[in-house]
Structure 1
Amino acid sequence: MFPGKMNPKKMKQMMKQMGMEMDELEGVEKIVIYTADGNYVFDNASVVATTMQGVTSYQITGDARFEEAVPEIPDEDVALVASQTGATEDAARAALAETRGDIAEAILKLAQ
């Protein structure tokens, strides 16, 4: 779209003439994008806000890591797994966490 090497000031001036503004957000320490399966975490990311025709969009640059969501484990599930396997509640909770809340799989895991 833009030929060869262009002066950054000239580029910014052209973008402003087209009604486009870009600003880097200062002081960004961490960005987290929450999803049902887990969170995408960006540490030390840079963020550029681009406004064009009244709409602002954000561009994130950096290395992301994915942290899986830890399911909430009801006390009733822990008690059930513990009673079925004879394991302690701590062991039952650990097995449920490892199997992402799957009761049958946690029972099979502890029964081995």
Structure 2
Amino acid sequence: MLPFGLGGKSLEKMLKKAGIKMYEIADAKRVIIETEEERIVIEQPKVIEIEVPGSAKAYQVIAQDVRVEKIEREGASVIEISDEDVKIVAEETGCSEEVARKALEETKGDIAEAILKLQESGC
């Protein structure tokens, strides 16, 4: 039940009187939101389109399957390497944390790939 005792039918009637139309986009497969630094990907969302007279359309997205991807720009690295990841790679390979961090940056944060790379090439 919605706030103020409004159930689905009561709310639907109130919105209709105000001229607001709501539609579910039943076949929505994915919603993608991009910022300068990341891409938020929502798979199998429930999407409601809301039309308000004299206004732009609005969309409500309800998500369960969400992933956030970092966006790499040419000439700039936006991959964040945690100190914990650096310590793991350094401990597993016996390399310094500086070398471990560089390997993680080169492998775009992939811990396993960084370890293998350092084990093959040495510190």
**Which consecutive residues of structure 1, in runs of 5 or more, have no partner in the other structure?**
74-93, 100-111
Runs of 4+ in structure 1 off by over 4 angstroms are 94-97
Deviation at 1:45, TM superposition (A): 0.6
Relative to structure 1, is the Cα distance of residues 69 and 4 closer, same or farther in structure 2, using a 3 angstrom cutoff?
A: same
Once the two structures are superposed, residues 58-87 of structure 1 have per-residue CA deviations (whole angstroms, 9 ceiling, x without a partner) of: 0111032211113346xxxxxxxxxxxxxx
* Residue aligning to 1:16: 16
Whole-Å Cα distance in 2 between the matches of residues 31 and 2 of structure 1?
28
Relative to structure 1, is the Cα distance of residues 13 and 71 closer, same or farther in structure 2, using a 3 angstrom cutoff?
A: same
The alignment's TM-score, normalised by the length of structure 1, stands at: 0.57
Once the two structures are superposed, residues 12-57 of structure 1 have per-residue CA deviations (whole angstroms, 9 ceiling, x without a partner) of: 1221111111111120111111221120000111111111123210
SS of equivalent residue, structure 2 residue 5: coil
The alignment's TM-score, normalised by the length of structure 2, stands at: 0.53
SS of equivalent residue, structure 2 residue 4: coil
- Equivalent pairs counted in the alignment come to 82
Whole-Å Cα distance in 2 between the matches of residues 96 and 72 of structure 1?
14
Q: Percent identity?
A: 22
Larger Rg: 1
Aligned amino acid, residue 50 of structure 2: T
